[in-house]
Amino acid sequence: MGVRSMFRTATKLVAGTTLLGGGAAIATSDNPSTAFKLCTNVPVRLVRDCFTAALVAFDYEYSLWGLPEGSAERSKAKHEVHTRSARRLQELCFQNGGIYIKLGQHIGQLEYLVPQEYVQTMRASMLNRCPVSSYDQVCEVFMKELGSMPHEIFIEFDRVPLASASLAQVHAARAQNGEKVAVKVQHTHLTDTAAADYATVNLIVNVLHWCFPSFDFRWLVDEMRESVPKELDFLAEARNSEKCLDNFKRLSPHLADNVYAPKIHWNLSTSKLLTMEFMDAPEVTDVDAIRRLGIHPKEVAKLVSQTFAEMMFKHGFVHCDPHAANLLIRPMPSGKMNILGKRRPQLILLDHGLYKSLDFSTRTNYAGLWKALVFADVNAIKENSVKLGAGEDLYALFAGILTMRPWNRVADPAVDHLVIKGDESDRSEIQMYASQYFSEISELLRRLPRVILLLLKTNDCLRAVNNSLLQGSSLDTFLIIGRVSSEAIVQMKMSQKKSVLSALCIWLEEILLEARFLGMQIALWLLELRKALAG
């Protein structure tokens, strides 16, 4: 019944979507070739979307028909249909490219919502199998943006890209002064087809929701509609990178030397072409390469955690796409070492296209929530979750999504209550909750403000990085988050103090917090000592 309805609805809406989505772009395009591309590509994309969605829906209905809930046969059939459907969605994303790949990347981060088969399929492919623009297309961008060919601007330009992402690809080059640079070139088709892509994705998500009410990903389309245009403006990305470093110098000077972003060559950069300093460093999850540099992965995990905690709780200006390819690690240029003789790491941040600014209220409540999570303060967890939009009925679920821990662990006062081991039992528990509370999680994500959705995405990316570095999470990570969030709250209170007495109360609160963190640190050392003795 659902499949037949989907086909009927899709057929009725094809023409309307083409007119509303692609038609608007065609009407405003002065380029005949662009208009022709839209006229030919939009119907093809739409038919491809509808066919894939209908095939997935039919596969689920047919494969699970008559199999009793909880049976071994149904579990096996569900795993198989999840795997087939994930591959179909993967192939659709690759065929359509651009915004669809961004959609696939986002789905790969929704471990708390979608089946593991989708997560694994998307994570394994969406970051390293992106489409590549031809050299002729790269030259087309250069001529439009700078009026010259690459070899006329650079003394060397590698025609083969170093890497390709969903929205752009990066080429190595050498500037006229001999400096090696990285040139980020936007894929040519994105601007032409973006409006149509939004319309077709929006159609298919709405049709799926109409057929299967519990399947509500409309919030994801809304979030992409807002964020992707910002990522397509490379000058905004360049400004974001400079603002990020300036924030560390002004607001987190103790960490400023440990965080770096490539210098921008403004005279060779436009909204679709970005020239920057070349960075030769391994990705943050390349543990073997990091060890060869004389850096301990645990120190890298601590630096990543502190960097993003400072952004979220103190700066209010957050890099919201910290997946492994956007985080590089190298030794501190100063050559400084820690007390164990290991080289200190420097974190290099790439791809500054997707940032989110947090207003004072959101930053205060988000810091308060994480402080409460670290200290297992149930009342404060509820209070801050409600303020952030989760509601009194879903605050426990919100806390579980942030920490990937069930509520009984979130509320456990044990010092290591939030630590994820990263083993099979942990993954099974997460997937069980994703399946059991699918409708509630969908409602929560629909309800939360978009800024919180992007923070959830950031949180998911950072968790994946930590898991690669540490094979799970670490108590160190949560101590850092708890400390920075607590410091941010104290700073915000100090900025609003109204009397000497209130300042004194805040100062005493800070002393008590330091004592509490010292106690947690001692507990961490004892846990590590116990593990060492047991091993």
Query: Which residues are catalytically annotated?
Result: 321
Closest C-alpha to 155, from 114, 196, 183? 183
Would you say 283 and 328 are in contact if contact means Cβ atoms under 8 Å apart?
A: yes
Would you say 115 and 431 are in contact if contact means Cβ atoms under 8 Å apart?
A: yes
Would you say 390 and 381 are in contact if contact means Cβ atoms under 8 Å apart?
A: no
- Within 10 angstroms of residue 216's Cβ, the number of other Cβ atoms is 18
Structure tokens at 437: 């509370």
Structure tokens at 279: 């960075």
- Alpha helices per DSSP H over 179-282: 189-211, 218-231, 234-251
Residue 115 φ/ψ region, left for φ over 0, alpha for ψ in the -120 to 50 degree band, beta for the rest = beta
Q: Compute the distance between CA of residue 468 and CA of residue 386 in angstroms, rounded to an integer.
A: 32
Structure tokens at 381: 């967890």
For 420, residues 6+ apart whose C-beta sits below 8 A from its C-beta are: 404, 405, 426, 463, 467, 472, 473
Would you say 53 and 204 are in contact if contact means Cβ atoms under 8 Å apart?
A: yes
Reported as type and span, the H/E element at residue 273 is strand 273-277
Would you say 331 and 325 are in contact if contact means Cβ atoms under 8 Å apart?
A: no
